[in-house]
Amino acid sequence: MTAELGGFLLALSLVMAFVQGGLGLAAGWRRDEGLAAAAAGVAQSNAIVLLAAFAILVSLFLRTDYSVAVVAANSHVAKPLLYKIAGTWGNHEGSMLLWCLVSATFAALLASFPGGMGRTLWSRAVGVQGVVTGVAIAYTLFLSSPFARLDPAPLTGKDLNPLLQDPALAIHPPMLYLGYVGLSVPFSLAIAALVEGKIDSAWARALRPWTLVAWVTLTIGITIGSYWAYYELGWGGWWFWDPVENASFMPWLAAAALLHSAIVTERRGSLASWTILLAIMGFGLALLGTFLVRSGVLTSVHAFAVDPKRGYAILAMLAFFVGGGFALYAWRAPRLSEPSGFLLVSRESALVANNVGFAVATGTVLIGTLYPLMLEAVTGRLISVGPPFFNITFGPLMALLFIALPIAPFLAWRRGDMKEAWRWLQWSAYAAAGMAVVTLALLRGPFWSAVGIAVGVWVLVGALLYAWKRAGSFARIAALPLAFWAMTAAHAGAGVFTIGAAVEMSFRKEEAAQMLPGQSVDFVGRRITLADISTVEGPNYTAQRADFRVDGRALTAERRFYSVSGMPTTEVGILGDVTGDLYIALGAPAEGSVGPAAWTVRLYWNPLVHWIFAGAGLMALGGALGLVVLARRSRRRVVAAEEASPA
C-alpha cells in the first residue's frame, strides 16, 4: 500500500502546486492580502506533502520492495545502506521526485521569507514558483512516476550501476538539483517583476540570496562530480567537456553572471533588463541541462531515460518556460525603469565586461554542446565535438574575463580611477609576468600554459592586494567585514583554480607499464614497486588488489567486479600532496602471454591537481559567506522596518 500512498501524495501535491500558482497570481492581480497568505500557506504545506512522498520512496528503497518498478531496476538487497538511500535519486524517476521536492521547498522558503520585496511582487513570485513546481510534478506523475508497480514482482533486483556506488555520488545529484531548481526562484522573481512592470533595488536585493544559493550548490555539485570522475573513472582527468558536464556548467556560468549583474542592479539600478534576461536564461539553461541529461539524446552514464516521450515533454517544458519568459520580456521589458549613468572607467563597466564575458563563454559552450545534435537532426551525420574545441574557445574568453576580474574591486561605482588601480595592480602584473617567464624559460611549458598561469597569478595576487589596500595594515585585516571576505575568497578561488588547471593540463605525465609482482618502474623521479596482487571480497563485489610501494610508502589500486550487474570498475590508488597526485590505475593482465601474466599499470602524475578542487571549494566558500552576509542584512532591514512602523 505504501507505494500507492506515495502516488496519492504526488497527485495531491500536483493540485496544490497549481492552486498555489493561481492564488499567488490572483493575489498580485487583486492586491489581496488574504489570497497572498493563502498562497503562502499552500506553498508551505505542499513542501511537507512532497517531503512525505519522498520519505515513502526512500522507505521503499530501504525495504528493497521489488514490487515497485524503480526499486527493482535500481536496487538489490546486498547493497550497502548508504547506497540503498542514495539509490532513491540514482535513477530517473526518483531524481525527478527529488526535483519536485526541491522546487516545492524553495517555494515554501520564498513564501516564508518575503525579505524586503513588495507584497504583490512577492505573492506573484510565489504563484510563478507554484506553476514551475506544478509542471515538474505533472511530468513526474504522468511520465515517470517512481511509484509504479511491477506485476508480477521480480525475485531479485538489478542493482545500482557500481560506478555510482560512491559516497561522492550520493551527494552530487542532490547538490546539482538544488542548483538547477534553485535557479527557478530567480526565474519566478523575474517573471513576477515583468508582470508587475517595475524593477527596483529591493527586487534585485531579493534576487541575490536565491541566485547565490543556486550558484553555491551548483559549484559544490559540479566540483564533487568532477572529483568523482577524477578518482573513480581511472582516466586521470577531471573534466572531459562531456555534454553532460556542460549541461551543469552552463547554468553555473549564467548564475555567476547573474550574481554580478544583480549587484549592479541593486546598487546602481543599471542593467535591470539584462538581469531579468539572465534570470530567465539561467533557468532555461538548467532546464536544457535536464533535457540533455534525461532525454537520452546523449547516451552516457547519466542518461537514465530512453523513453522519447519524456524527452519531448521536457523539451515542451523548456519551450513553455523560456519561450513564455522571453515573450513576456519582449512585451514588458521596454517599460522597465531606466538606469543611472556611469563612466567608462567604473565598477559598473568592469561588471558589464564580466557579464559580456560570461555570456559569450556560455554561448560557445552551448554551441559546442548542441552542434552535434543540430547537425545530426539536419543532415543525419553523426559527429562529436572534442575537448580541443572547448579549450580553444572557452579558454581565451575566460582569460579575457579574468584579466578584468581583479580590476573591478579597485574601481569606484560611477567613476573609477584607473591610475590608482594600477598603482596597486602593477605588483600583481609583475608577479604574473614573472611566473609566465618562469613557465616558458625554466619549465619549458607551452605558450598557453604560461598565459593560463599568468592569468591565475594575476587574479589571485590581485584579490590579495585588494585585501591589503582595504586593510591598510596587517593588524586591521581581521577587522575587515565579512562581505569583503566573501568576495575575496571567491575571487582568490578563481585564481587558485586557474593556476591549478593550467599547470595540470600542461605538465601532466602519463605512462603505461607491464608489471609482474616484484618488479619496479621509475616514473617522475620515483621508484614504484608492485609488491603483491591479491584477491579480496567486498560486500557486493570481488576485487583484485595491487599493493605498490612508492619510495617506501604504500599505495593500493583495485579492479572490482560487481557480481550482480556483472560490471568491472577501477579503484585508483592516489598518493598526493600540495604539489600533485601520483595516481595509479590497475589495468587488465596482458592477454595471451606465456607464464605469469604481467599486469597493465597506468601511472599518472597530476601536478597541482588539488588546487583545482581547492579553488572551486574557495569559490563555494566565498558564496556561502556571501549568503551569511545577505541573510544578516535582510534581518537587520526587517528589524529596522518594524521599528520604523508603529505597531
Partner 1 sequence: MRKSSRRLVVIAVAGVLLSVAAGLTLYGLQDSVAYFYAPSDVAAKARVGERVRVGGLVEEGSVARKDGALTFRITNGAGVVAVRYEGDPPSLFGENEGVVAEGVWRGEEVFAAERVLAKHDENYMPREVVEALKERGEWKGPQ
Nearer to partner 1, 340 or 579 (CB): 340
Closer residue to partner 1, CB minimum distance, 22 or 372 = 372
- Spatial CB neighbours of 434, under 8 Å, sequence gap ≥ 6: none
Q: Across the strands, what pairs with 607?
A: 580
Sheet of 553-562, strands arranged across? 520-523, 526-537, 541-550, 553-562, 567-571
Interface with partner 1 (CB under 8 A), residue from 112, 156, 300, 426:
300
Binding mask 516-555 for partner 1 (x = CB under 8 A): ----------------------------------------
Nearer to partner 1, 148 or 554 (CB): 148
Instruction: Write down the residue that cell numbers 609488491 correspond to.
Output: 531
Can you tell me the distance from the alpha carbon of 79 to that of 539, in angstroms, rounded to the nearest whole number? Answer: 8
524 and 582 Cβ atoms separated by less than 8 Å: yes
Nearest distance, CB of residue 276 and partner 1, angstroms: 17
> Quick one: which of 127, 225, 357, 416 contacts partner 1 (CB under 8 A)?
357
Q: Which stretch binds partner 1 (CB under 8 A): 148-156, 220-228, 336-344, 538-546?
A: 336-344
Query: What are the φ/ψ torsions at residue 377 (nearest 5 degrees)?
Result: -65, -40
Check binding of 344 to partner 1 (CB under 8 A). Answer: yes
Residue number with CB closer to partner 1 (388 or 481): 388
**Cβ distance to partner 1 smaller for residue 238 or 321:** 238
Nearer to partner 1, 223 or 349 (CB): 349
Binding segment (CB under 8 A) for partner 1, from list 49-57, 283-291, 295-303, 490-498: 295-303
- Give the contacts of 114 (CB within 8 A, at least 6 positions apart): 122
Shortest reach from residue 601's CB to partner 1, in Å: 9
Helices (H), 197-271: 201-232, 243-268
Nearest residue to 348 (alpha-carbon basis) of 470, 458, 254, 265? 265
| Residue 295, phi then psi, degrees to nearest 5 | -85, -20
The answer to whether residues 482 and 628 touch, using CB atoms and an 8 Å cutoff, is yes
Cell 600554459: give the residue. Answer: 449
Name which of residues 560 to 579 contact partner 1 (CB under 8 A).
Answer: 565-570
User: Is 310 a binder of partner 1 (CB under 8 A)?
Assistant: no
Helix (H, G, I), strand (E, B) or coil at 593: coil
- Only one residue has cell 558536464, namely 245
Q: Does 173 bind partner 1 (CB under 8 A)?
A: no
Cα 518 from Cα 147, distance rounded (Å): 54
* Rounded CA Rg of the chain: 26
| Least distance to partner 1, CB of residue 384, Å | 5
Q: Judged by CB under 8 A, does residue 261 bind partner 1? A: no
CA distances in angstroms from 243 to 163, 171, 316, 369, listed in the order given: 18, 21, 20, 6
Residue from 168, 315, 360, 471 that binds partner 1 (CB under 8 A)? 360
Binding piece for partner 1, criterion CB under 8 A, among 165-173, 180-188, 367-375, 625-633: 367-375
Residues that bind partner 1 (CB under 8 A): 161-163, 234, 298-301, 303, 306-307, 341-344, 349, 352-353, 356-357, 360-361, 363-364, 367-368, 371, 381-390, 392-393, 396-397, 400, 512, 514, 559, 565-570, 587-588, 590-592, 600, 602
